[in-house]
Every structure is written in structure tokens, then in C-alpha cells.
Structure 1
Amino acid sequence: MRPLLVALPSLVASLVASLVVATAPAAHAEPVELGGVRVDLRPGTTQVVTVDHTRGTRATVSLWRLTASGWKRQLTTRDGRTGYGGLVRGDRRVQGTGTTPLGTYGLTSTFGTHGRDARARLPHHRIRRGDFWVQDNASPHYNRLRNQRDGGFRWWLPSSHPDSSERLTDYPRQYEWSIVTDFNVEQVRRRGSGIFLHVNGRGATAGCVSAPRRTIRALVRLLDPARVPVIGIGR
């Protein structure tokens, strides 16, 4: 995604940092299979979103919760979408290929065109003018949310440039509500950035996972950091 220009007030800056700077993934617990998708659980994980690729760029997206009697599906949709370039192992993904990374990733925060939902628990950032998700491989802010006013990346590069970043306000439909994953939190250059779970557009994504608005809206309200939520993406 693409960067911003002005320095944020300290309070907002702290919030943005908590949204996008995730710690390295924790050691995995025993894997489980949910809805046909292998999920590498993290210690404490009791909430899982699965993305089960069905055909083309379509997928079934479901939310699971661990109960006293085992894993139970809370909601599901067959109208999920994946990247136009297909699916690829996360450690083999290349920026700009339109591929969705297979594997398990944390769900760390949300952002969107609205303010924080009173029922939501994950940290939230309301998109404002100049906000970008940085895809500039030369920037120390690679794969981070940043405002162009803060500098540190080449926000002015055209979309045709391989180091151009994503201006969040350019996608008011898809990013009305969006959930951030910790894919490539280590900032491996050219692996790609800004892999989100967001509202469906008109078709395939550029590598993210998308689902109908009502599904994403429900997930924003239901995901709880205390449950260490993760997303498992499979074939």
C-alpha cells in the first residue's frame, strides 16, 4: 500500500505503530485442519479464519472458534476472492505477481474509511488523506502504514513503477473495512507487502484475500487479540 506526507500527532503515531508493527510470529503449536485448510496454530490461538481455494480466484472464507467441544464454525461465505496470479508458498512469493501467499499468518489490526467500531477489539486506524502502505523496497518502512507527510519512502512514484506504494484512499470500496495480516512482517524485500483481508471489489485481488462486506464487517467485530487470531490460506 502507499505512504503519507505529514507527521502524525504522537498519540495517533503510537496507534499506527501498534497497528502495523507486529512482532515476529510466535512458535507454532500443533497444526489442525479446518474446512480443508491446514492451520499452524500459535500458542493461545482459539480463533481462526480459513481461506479454502475452490476454483479460479474464488475461495470459501470461514471463521472458526475453539470451544469446550472442539472447533466450531461461526460464519462462512463461498464468495471469497484471492489474487489474480494464483496461490504460492509464502516464502516464495514475489512482489507484483498478484499471488496470494499460502500459509498461516496473524491477524493484527484493522483499518478503513470509518472510525473504530465500538464492538471491535483489534487496534484500528481510520484512513486519512496521504495514507499509504509502503511497497518501496528502498524504504525502512517497507510493508508498513505511513503518511506521505512523514516521508521515508517515494510516495510520488507512479503505479507503473515496481517500487510504487499503495494510496489507501484510492480503494474506498475494498478498504472500507480491512484486516491486516502479519505476512512478511520481517520486511523481506521484494517478497511483497500489504496482504490484507478486505471487502470484495469487482473480481480477483492483487494478492490479498477478500470477502463480501457483511463478512468482513462481522470479522472486524468478532476478532479478539486475546484469542490470538490467525488466518490460514490453503488450496
Structure 2
Amino acid sequence: MALGTLLSTLSGCGGPAHPGSASGPRGRIAGSPSAPAVPAPEPTRVPGIGDRVHRRIPAGSSQVVAVYGEGRDSADSTVVLYTRRGAEWRPAGSWPAHNGRKGWTSDHRMGDERSPIGVFTLSAAGGVLADPGARLPYDQDENAYAPPDAWDRAHQHDFDYVIAIDYNRLPGTPPHDGTLPLGEEKGGGIWLHLDHGGGTSACVSVSREAMRYLLRTLDPARHPVIVMGDRRTLHA
């Protein structure tokens, strides 16, 4: 991948939010075919997620990576992985994290240094290092993911492992794919990647241990999504 293309792709570090129905299947009372349809019990809520955002989680998803930003203008956040078992969402892991160094936005633009708020699918992973046992399709390519030598040494391992967040990209393609369906002005290259101790250009960053756990746990068959934003907006 050409250096110019890499820098353009990573400078967002937005696919539209993946809509989904929050309603479950409907059935009829056994032995009474003319009885009114009775809605199935809804799953318990992902904690801290209000009606407006929760309705955008696809009904078929049973893995949610929730990114709770500490404030609209804060770079500090917490990542929690929830899995759905039957009708209950349960936490499977929680880690400190960082987001865009200027916080969050509902209208992400190239270079604004804010992470996009929304619900996005997670469909591909990759990185400089070899596949650690990822369930998502994994693209190992040192040339595509290694930051340029000119970058600060603190950032040299940011992309050892990455998971693409499907904001302004073609889902299922390798994370470094530079296609921007919404146009360059909406930014792109929004990833989960390794943390370097501070805010990002727009990505979400977590520890190496957290990334390895997520890579080994997120399963395409469970239609994983990421729900991300500042706590107040997510709860509204």
C-alpha cells in the first residue's frame, strides 16, 4: 500500500451506523390460533445504552463492544465486551481505553480528532503481527500496517493488532483498504488498535492483552458490533 494512501487511511484514526430491529419474533398462544400475537421477551439492555441507540443494535447480534467515553470532549473511555446468552447481556471483559484526543462527534470529519458516535459492525482484523487466533478474517501485512519511521516511537506498535470499525468503509475488506464510500471528507480508517497512553486521531485504543482477547473472542457468526460514544449521548 503506498505511503500516501496509508497516511490518508490512518488519518481518521468514518460506513454508516448499522441499523437493526430491537423487536423479537412474535408468536401465538398454543391451541388458540385466533389469539392476538404475543411479543417474545426482549433481551435485557446493554447497560448505559438508551432506547435511541439500543434500537440500532442488530437483532441478530450477540456480541457488543461498548465504548463508554468519559465526556464529550474527553479522550478517556472504558471498553466493555458484552455477550448475549438467551435473554441476558453479560459482561465478558472490561478495559481502560482511549478515543479521539478531542473527544466525540455525531458528524465526524477528516482531521477533527474526534471519534464518531454510533453503532458499527466489526467484520475484519489485521496487523503487523501474525494472527493470534482471531475469529474475524485476519490480514497480516507488515508493509500495510507498520507506521512510517517518521512517526513518534511511542506509536510504533499501535497497529501490531487492529480491528476495523465499519465506519465509512466496505465491511469485510482488510482494515487497510482505503475505499471511503461516504467520501474523503467524512474520514476513515477508524480502528480498534493498541494503546499508547493517550488520545488518538479518532480510533479507539486498548491494551495488547485486551486486543488479543477481543481478536480471539469476536465471532462473525455472532455478528459483533461496536457501540461507541460519550456516556451521556449513549444513554440518551
TM-score, structure 2 as length reference: 0.68
| Residue matched to 1:212 | 207
| Residue matched to 2:91 | 73
Q: 2:222 and 2:94 mapped to 1: Cα distance?
A: 19
**Structure holding more strand per residue:** 1
**Deviation string, structure 1 residues 162-189 (Cα, Å, up to 9, x no partner):** xxxx759965411111100110123333
| Residue matched to 1:160 | none
| Residue matched to 2:65 | 49
- After superposition, residues 98-113 of structure 1 pair within 5 angstroms as 98-113=113-128
| Residue matched to 1:179 | 163
Consecutive unaligned residues of structure 1, counting only runs of 5 or more, are 6-22, 134-165
**Deviation string, structure 1 residues 40-68 (Cα, Å, up to 9, x no partner):** 21242110000001242111100010102
Residue 93 of structure 1 contacts residue 99 of structure 1 at CA under 8 Å; is this kept in 2? Answer: yes
| Residue matched to 1:60 | 78
Q: Which moved more, 1:45-54 or 1:107-116?
A: 107-116
TM-score, structure 1 as length reference: 0.68
For the structure 1 residues 54 and 27, does the alpha-carbon distance in structure 2 shift closer, same or farther, using more than 3 Å as the test?
A: closer
| Residue matched to 2:22 | 30
Mapped pair 1:116 → 2:114:
no
Q: State how many pairs are aligned.
A: 179
Identity %: 27
Q: Which moved more, 1:222-231 or 1:63-72?
A: 63-72
State the structure with more CA Rg.
Answer: 2
Residue 26 of structure 1 contacts residue 43 of structure 1 at CA under 8 Å; is this kept in 2? Answer: no
Q: CA deviation at 1:87?
A: 0.3
Q: Which runs of 4+ in 1 moved over 6 A?
A: none
User: What is the RMSD computed on CA atoms of the aligned residues?
Assistant: 2.6
Q: CA deviation at 1:96?
A: 0.5
Q: CA deviation at 1:110?
A: 0.7
Q: 1:202 and 1:67 mapped to 2: Cα distance?
A: 34
- State the AA in 2 paired with 1:75: G
Q: Which of 107, 110, 119 is matched with 1:95 structurally? A: 110
**Deviation string, structure 1 residues 188-220 (Cα, Å, up to 9, x no partner):** 331001000111013101000111111111000
Q: 1:167 and 1:103 mapped to 2: Cα distance?
A: 30
